[in-house]
């Protein structure tokens, strides 16, 4: 055996000439065990590295799935919100355009009647023109009133108090009876009862006198 080696060298003698032929050294059991342990350690490290890699890939896939689900939910949510919002805005736009047109026509009519009313010069009326001028002026006033009332039925802005809650009408407290009235009623009652009191007293005196005899 070689010194410092864990293998055993064997030699085989020759058949006739006495020469020996060396053969391959065979490892001992300890060396084989150590080799297997080293291989097992290497395999374990590889498995751990592979496990870490798989865990990393698993985390990435889970994060990817979470983002896909978030995208799907967000897409459906925002498509629904935006669609309903567009419908509402289109409806409001149409209503706003209609309201703007109505306000424009109403403003034109109001300005026209305002100018016509302001153009009435009642200071120049005399006894001759009073009747026809007054009739024309009243006709303008009546037409402007009809236009104003018609506009109020179409435009809520001309009815500022329409959407406000009605004020609660508090019932007025009943006035208390004056003390002087109480005294007056007491005196009236005493005066009305005085004849009865006097008559009863006289009757009581007569009754006592009769029994005393």
pTM tops 0.75: no
Q: Domain residues of the chain, as ranges?
A: 27-158
pLDDT exceeds cutoff 70 at 109: yes
Across 41-45, 186-190, 204-208, least confident range:
186-190
Per-position DSSP letters for 147-179, written without gaps between them: HHHHHHHH-GGG-TTSSSPPPP-PPPPPPPPPH
Mean pLDDT of the chain: 78
Q: What is the pLDDT of residue 171?
A: 46
Cα–Cα distance for residue pair 104/49, rounded to 1 Å: 78
How far apart (Å, rounded) are the C-alpha atoms in residues 25 and 4? 14
- Lowest mean pLDDT across 42-51, 86-95, 193-202: 193-202
Token pair 């009326």: residue? 125
Q: What pLDDT, on the 0 to 100 scale, is given for residue 1?
A: 41
Q: What confidence category does residue 5 fall into, taking pLDDT thresholds of 50, 70 and 90?
A: very low
Q: How far apart are CA 138 and CA 140, in angstroms?
A: 5
Mean pLDDT across 150-163 = 83
Using only the alpha carbons of the chain, give its radius of gyration: 61
Task: Annotate 183-202 with b (16+ C-beta within 10 A) or e (fewer).
Answer: eeeeeeeeeeeeeeeeeeee
Which two tokens mark 84? Answer: 């309903």
Least confident of 86-100, 117-131, 160-174, 193-207: 160-174
């Amino acid at each position: 055996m070689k010194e410092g080696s864990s293998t055993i060298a064997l030699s085989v003698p020759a058949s006739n000439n006495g020469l020996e032929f060396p053969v391959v050294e065979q490892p001992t059991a300890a060396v084989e065990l150590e080799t297997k342990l080293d291989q097992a350690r290497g395999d374990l490290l590889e498995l751990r590295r592979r496990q870490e890699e798989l865990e990393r890939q698993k985390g990435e896939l889970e994060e990817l799935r979470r983002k896909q689900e978030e995208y799907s939910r967000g897409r459906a949510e925002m498509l629904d919100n935006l669609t309903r919002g567009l419908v509402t805005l289109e409806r409001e736009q149409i209503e706003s355009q209609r309201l703007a047109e109505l306000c424009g026509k109403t403003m034109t009519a109001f300005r026209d009647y305002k100018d016509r009313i302001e153009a009435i010069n009642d200071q120049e009326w005399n006894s001759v023109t009073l009747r026809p001028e007054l009739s024309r002026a009243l006709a303008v006033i009546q037409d402007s009133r009809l236009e104003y009332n018609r506009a109020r039925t179409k435009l809520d802005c001309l009815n500022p108090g329409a959407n406000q809650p009605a004020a609660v009408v508090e019932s007025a407290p009943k006035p208390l009876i004056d003390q002087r009235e109480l005294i007056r009623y007491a005196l009236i009652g005493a005066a009305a009862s005085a004849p009865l009191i006097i008559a009863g007293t006289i009757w009581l005196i007569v009754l006592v006198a009769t029994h005393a005899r």
